[in-house]
Amino acid sequence: MTAHRYAGATAIAGIGATEFSKRSGRSELQLAVEACTAALDDAGLEPHRVNGLSTFTMETNPENEVMRSLGIPELTHFSRIHFGGGAPCGTVQFAAMAVNEGVADYVLCYRAFNERSGRRFGAGVQERPAGATAEEAQFAWTSPYGLLTPASWVAMFATRLMHEYGVTSEDFGRVAVADRRHAATNPAAHFYGAPITLEDHQESRFIVEPLHLLDCCQETDGGQALLVTTLERARDLRQAPVVVEAAAQGMADDQQMMRSFFRDSLVGLPEMGVCARQMWETSGLGPDDIQTAVIYDHFTPFVLPQLEEFGFCGRGEAKDFITGGAIEIGGRLPLNTHGGQLGEAYLHGMNGIAEGVRQVRGTSVNQVGGVDHVLVTAGTGVPTSALVLGRE
C-alpha cells in the first residue's frame, strides 16, 4: 500500500470542548460554536483564518451557521462523514487530506449535541416512514421484533462473543471498571470521583441482556472541536503539534449499520480490521509501538474485538489481555485514560481524539509515561475510522 501523503505532514493543533453535562441549558449550535472557539483559543488562532469545517452527517449544526457565528469569512472545504459514531477519526482524516492538498489551511472538526436533554439515541428507532429509502428499510429487519436501540444491536454480538470465546459479563465489566477508574481522577468527567467495582457492574440492571447498565456509555450534552492544519503551520501555533501519523476509514464485506448479523462470523470487527491494516501498512507502525489507546467504548463488548483487530492480542484472547490488567494505568496498554465514553462523556468519540492529543502533549490527567504514539478508534459495528497520533 502506498503511503497516505497527509500522514506525518499534518497535525492537530488545537482542542476545545464545552463542559460535559446532562443538561447544557443552551442550543446545540451554541455548544458547537463554544467548542470551536475553545479549540481556536487553545491553538492561538484567529477564527477568520479557518477555511474548512468537517463533521458528521448526524450533526445538526450546519457549517454555514457555525461559520457565521465564528466569524469565518469564507470556507473552501466542508465535508461530512456518515454512519454516526464511525465518523470522528474520519473527520480528522478528511481535514488532514484537505490541508495537505492545499484546498484549505485550517480545518475545524466538530461535534456538538444535547444528546441527554434533547434527542436521546438510547430511546431507539421506533417509527420509520413508509415509502422507505434503502437506509430506512434496513430497520425493517430488526425494529418490528423489538431490537430498537444501539444497545440491543450490540447485545446480539455480545451473546455470540460469549458463546464462541467464553467471554463473560465480568470480562465486559472489567472494561467499565477501568474506564470509571480513569474517569474518577478526571475533573472534566461526569463520573469524576465516582469509580465502580466489578460487583457494581454485575449488580446494575440489565438494559439489553447480556448488557448491564454499566456496560453502556453515558448520554451527554456537550461539544468537542479539533483544529487540523499542516505540520508546518502547526509549528507556528501555541501548542506543540500532535502529528497525524496514520488515519483510515473502514467498511467491510456485507456491512450493515451496527447490525452486520448476516456475516459468517460475528466475533470480529472486519471494518476495524480494514482500518488497522491501512494504518499499520502506511505508517510502518505496529501494535508494539503504541503506548496507550482510546478504544471506542459506546458498549463494553466491542472493546474486545478491537484489541484483536489491531493485533494487541490474538483472536479470542482479549478477555485474557484485559483480565491480566493490561488496560489499567501501568499496564501494557492503558485504555481510555480520560474515562472513555462510559466515564468522561459520550461525545460520539470526538472527546477520545482530544484525549489522544493530551497523551501526546503530556497533559492528560492520567498521563502515561513515554508516549510516542497513541491509537484512537471510532464507533464499532458501524463503518468506522481510526487514527494514530504522535509526537513530531
Partner 1 sequence: MTTTGSETGAPITDRVRELVGRSSPFNTARDAVNEAMIRHWCDIIDDANPVYTDASTASASVFGGIVAPPAMLDVWDKPGLHLTRDPSNPQSAALNLLDAAGFTSTVAVNSELEFARYLRPGEWLHSTLTLEEVSDEKQTGLGTGHFVTSRLSYSVGDELVGTVLFRVLKFRPGTGRARSAAEKPGPDPDPALRPRPAINRDNQYFWDGARAHELRIQRCNECGEQYFPPMPRCRRCGSLSMGYRVASGRGSLYSFAVPHYPQVNGFRYPVLVGLVELEEGTRLVSNVVGCRREHLRVGMPLELCWLDSHPASADGAVDSRGAISLPQFRPARAARHTETRRADAVAPGDELPLCPIPLTTTLIAGGALATLDYFDAHHDRDMAQQRGSKDVFMNIHTTLGLCERYVSDWAGPEAWWRALRVRLGAPNYPGDTMTMTGSVTAVDQGSGEATIVFRGTNGLGDHVSGTAELTLPASERSIGAAR
Residues at the site binding partner 1, with contacts judged by CB under 8 A: 122-134, 136-149, 151-153, 155-160, 163, 205-210, 256, 259, 261-262, 266
* Shortest spacing between CB 226 and partner 1, in angstroms: 32
DSSP letters for 35-60: HHHHHHHHHT--GGG--EEEEETT-S
Considering the complex, state which of residue 74 and residue 264 has its C-beta at the smaller distance from partner 1. 264
Q: Which is nearer to partner 1, 3 or 123 (CB)?
A: 123
The nearest distance, CB 122 to partner 1, in angstroms, is 7
Among candidate residues 6, 106, 165, 346, the one labeled active-site is 346
CB 361 within 8 A of CB 242: yes
Q: How far is the CB of 132 from partner 1 (least distance, A)?
A: 3
Distance of closest approach, residue 134 Cβ to partner 1, in angstroms? 7
54/52 Cα distance (integer angstroms): 7
Q: What angle do CA 384, 390, 392 make, to 5 degrees?
A: 140
Smallest gap from residue 123 Cβ to partner 1 (A): 6
Strand partners, 211: 208
Please provide the DSSP assignment of 314-326 as one string.
-TT-HHHHHHTTT
End-to-end CA distance of the chain: 23
Nearer to partner 1, 109 or 208 (CB): 208
- What are the cell numbers at 190? 461526569
| Alpha-carbon distances of 230 from 18, 292, 353, rounded to whole Å | 25, 24, 17
Angle, to 10 degrees, between the axis of helix 88-101 and the axis of helix 350-361?
60
For the bound state, the minimum distance from the C-beta of residue 253 to partner 1, rounded and expressed in Å, comes to: 10
Min CB(168)–partner 1 separation in Å: 15
- 48 vs 263, which CB is nearer to partner 1? 263
Q: What is the dihedral of CA 19, 94, 82, 306, to 10 degrees?
A: -80
Q: How far apart are CA 235 and CA 212, in angstroms?
A: 46
| 110 is known as an active-site residue | no
Comparing CB distances to partner 1, the nearer of 82 and 160 is 160
In this structure, are residues 333 and 327 in contact, taking their beta carbons and an 8 Å threshold?
yes
Strand order in the sheet with 106-114: 77-81, 52-56, 106-114, 221-230, 10-17, 242-250, 384-391, 373-377, 292-294
145 catalytic per annotation: no
Nearer to partner 1, 258 or 387 (CB): 258
Q: Which is closer to partner 1, CB of 137 or CB of 194?
A: 137
Q: Catalogue the active-site residues.
A: 296, 346
